[in-house]
Each structure stands twice: as structure tokens, then as C-alpha cells.
Structure 1
């Protein structure tokens, strides 16, 4: 069973991941990933909206963790696993 804290963390981490994808300098698959991430983020809740939802529905949401330190992502970072023709 998912707890409110786990649900909130998943939504916040997903938003952070989508923001990272949407702002990547390197274009992949002709911008498909970035454009999909940007489209999803358009309607994705921010921390204020999640906080309001947590106050109204504490059995569903938990307040988000404090804002991350600049330069310290809350979720995964990009690691290049293999060399490709584009980065040789």
C-alpha cells in the first residue's frame, strides 16, 4: 500500500525528472523526449499545489519535502552508459 509520503515523493520526483528532461541541452530523438516532458509538465502540480492538497486530503497526500539545494537534484542524474556515433 502506498503511503501519502510515498505518493507525494513519487509525484515530486517525477516532476523533477520531467523538468530535467525538458531542459536538457542535448536533443534526443529529434526533441521527442523534451517535447513530451514539457507537455506533461504543463499540467503537473507544483509544490504549493501539492501542499494545499495535502492539507485538504492528508490521507492521500503528504506535504512535499523542503526545496532542494540548487545543484543538488532530488532524483536521478544523467549518466552516459555507452558511446554512440553522436558523442564519439
Structure 2
């Protein structure tokens, strides 16, 4: 069973991965992968949005994460 903590952690770790891909060299991530990661980050929720959602929906998200 996925907990709010696990779900929130996955959300933050996904952002970390996308940010790492944006700056990765060509031998790690192809240019098209970096461009797609950047495109996705433009629409990714901010920490504050995740925390606010966590306060409103504590059964879904952990507002204290990160």
C-alpha cells in the first residue's frame, strides 16, 4: 500500500530526476530527453503547491515532506 509519505517522496524524487536530466551531458541523456524533461518541469507543481495540497488532503499527500 502506498502511503502519503511514499507518494509525496516519489513526486519530489521525480522532479529531482527531471532536473538532473535537463543538465546531463549528451553521453548520459540525449538532447531530446533533456528537452522533454525541461518541458515537463515547466508544468510540474512547486513545493508550495504540494504542501498546500498535503494540508488539504493529508490522506493523499504528506505536507511535511521536503
TM band (smaller chain): 0.7 to 0.9
Question: 1:11 maps to what in 2?
Answer: 11
Secondary structure, aligned partner of 1:44: coil
TM-score, length-scaled by structure 2: 0.86
Greater helix content: 2
Partner Cα distance (1:39, 1:4) in 2: 26
Question: 1:32 maps to what in 2?
Answer: 32
Question: 1:75 maps to what in 2?
Answer: none
> Unpaired runs of 5+ in structure 1?
66-88
TM-score, length-scaled by structure 1: 0.66
Question: 1:51 maps to what in 2?
Answer: 51
Residue by residue over 1:10-54, the C-alpha shift from the partner in whole angstroms, topping out at 9 and shown as x without a partner, is: 000000110111122x1343x111001001111111211110000
Partner Cα distance (2:23, 2:48) in 1: 22
How many residues are matched? 63
Q: Which runs of 4+ in 1 moved over 6 A?
A: none
